[in-house]
């Protein structure tokens, strides 16, 4: 196995206005989330969130404490949310073993222990997408399925944004320090997410898009309300969203995405909305 990581530094909104396409993609887009038998991570200076993925194909992959953490274990001072977006898999955390099927999630609280990822069938490998944030105390590990989620049905087919928001790793379902994660599934015929757009300066966010057919793409929108930018994305890619930025998208096909937040509060509804007609 191999662990890869890179550090992404935070950008001032005044500076980001001048970024060209190449710079926007370099600073915000995470193109390679999954690589066979590797663990890929981005250590972001936005609330020190780590965004990553592990794809075990016939090997057991270990969650290593990368150098920026300066810790004996990855979870020594961190909590983590994991989603399986591939075939059936297994996550071991210390002496505990969790089986995760497609679209099932796992919360791991802070504490010194080894974490490993493996697939039940190498021909149908699991793909573990994860977000991790710093944690001031330990909360119990817990597996979460869609049956455990708080589901909000929103939008309409007429508005091209009929979707189910599955709030899974949120404080109404289980206690966390600052991590909040969920999964939004768009209905057939719908392409817009998080519209009307909003910002929440109390929290940064990361979006991971999947179930995007190979011949299709997602156009993710970011930036300030009156100074937006876009990032074209493919299946199984993630993007960082600063606290000053909107985070919305439209695609050429319906899709599913996982959102993860970290920052000052745990209030999902703490959002500063903008009018669609105010976007520029």
Measuring CA to CA, how many Å separate 208 from each of 73, 83, 129, 248?
25, 11, 8, 12
Q: Given this model, what pLDDT does residue 63 score?
A: 98
| Average confidence (pLDDT) over 89-104 | 98
How would residue 271 be classed by pLDDT, with cut points 50, 70 and 90? confident
Mean residue pLDDT of the chain comes to 96
pLDDT > 90? residue 125: yes
pLDDT for res 268:
85
Q: What pLDDT digit, counting tens, does each position of 214-233 carry?
A: 999 999 999 999 999 999 99
The per-residue pLDDT for range 131-141, each reduced to its tens digit, is 999 999 999 99
At residue 139, the pLDDT reads 98
At 21-53, the pLDDT tens digits run 999 999 999 999 999 999 999 999 999 999 999
Instruction: Report residue 266's pLDDT band, with 50, 70 and 90 as the boundaries.
Output: confident
Which pLDDT does position 110 carry in this prediction?
98
Does the structure show a pLDDT above 90 at 272? Answer: no
| Secondary structure, 3-state, the chain | CEEEEEEECCCCHHHHCCCCHHHHHHHHEECCCCCECEEEEEEECCCCCEEEEEECCCCCEECCCCHHHCCCCCCCCEEEEEEECCCCEEEEECCEEEEECCCCEEEECCCCCCEEEEECCCCCCCCEEEEEEECCCCCCCEEECHHHCEEEEECCCCCCCCEEEEEEECCCCCCCCCCEEEEEEECCCCCCECCCCEECCCEEEEEEEECCCCCCCEEEEEEECCEEEEEEECCCEEEEECCCCCCEEEECCCCEEEEEEEECCCCCCCCEECCHHHCC
- Contacts of residues 31-36 at CB distance under 8 Å and 24 or more positions apart, as own/partner, are 31/234, 31/237, 33/129, 33/208, 33/236, 33/237, 33/238, 34/127, 34/236, 35/4, 36/125
pLDDT for position 270: 84
What is the pLDDT at residue 201? 87
Beta-sheet strand order (sheet of 38-44): 2-8, 38-44, 50-54, 128-134, 78-84, 105-108, 142-144
The pLDDT score that the predictor gives to residue 209 is: 98
Average pLDDT over residues 9-30: 97
The structure tokens 């001031």 sit at 136
Q: What is the pLDDT of residue 32?
A: 98
Domains defined along the chain, listed by start: 2-278 (2.60.120.10)
Q: What pLDDT, on the 0 to 100 scale, is given for residue 265?
A: 86
Q: What's the angle, vertex CA 238, arms to CA 278 and CA 57, rounded to 5?
A: 165
Contact 240, 48 (CB under 8 A): no
Q: pLDDT of 164-214, one tens digit each?
A: 999 999 999 999 999 999 999 999 999 999 999 989 989 999 999 999 999
Confidence of residue 269 (pLDDT cuts 50, 70, 90): confident
Sign of CA dihedral 165, 55, 7, 213: negative
69-92 pLDDT, tens per residue? 999 999 999 999 999 999 999 999
Stretch 102-128: mean pLDDT: 98
């Amino acid at each position: 196995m191999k662990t890869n990581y890179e550090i992404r530094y935070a950008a001032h909104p005044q500076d980001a206005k001048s970024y060209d396409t190449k710079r926007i993609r370099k600073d915000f887009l995470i193109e390679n989330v999954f690589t066979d038998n590797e663990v890929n991570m981005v250590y972001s200076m936005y609330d020190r969130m780590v965004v990553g993925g592990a794809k075990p194909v016939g090997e057991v992959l270990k969650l290593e404490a990368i150098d920026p953490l300066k810790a004996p274990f990855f979870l020594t001072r961190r909590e983590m949310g994991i989603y399986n977006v591939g075939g059936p898999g297994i996550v071991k955390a210390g002496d505990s073993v969790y089986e995760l099927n497609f679209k099932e999630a796992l919360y791991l609280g802070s504490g010194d222990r080894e974490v490993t990822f493996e697939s039940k069938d190498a021909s149908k490998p699991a793909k573990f997408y994860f977000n991790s944030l710093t944690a001031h105390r330990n909360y119990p590990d817990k597996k979460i399925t869609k049956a455990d989620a708080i589901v909000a049905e929103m939008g309409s087919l007429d508005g091209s944004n009929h979707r189910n928001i599955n709030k899974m790793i949120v404080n109404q379902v289980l206690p966390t320090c600052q991590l909040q994660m969920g999964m939004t599934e768009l209905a057939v015929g719908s392409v817009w997410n998080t519209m009307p757009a909003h910002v929440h300066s109390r929290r940064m966010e990361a979006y991971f898009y999947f179930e995007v057919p190979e011949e299709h793409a997602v156009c993710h929108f970011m930036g300030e309300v009156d100074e937006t930018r876009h990032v074209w994305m493919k299946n199984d890619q993630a993007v960082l969203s600063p606290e000053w930025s909107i985070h919305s998208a439209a695609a050429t096909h319906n899709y599913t995405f996982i959102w993860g937040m970290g920052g000052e509060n745990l209030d999902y509804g703490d959002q500063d909305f903008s009018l669609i007609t105010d976007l520029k």
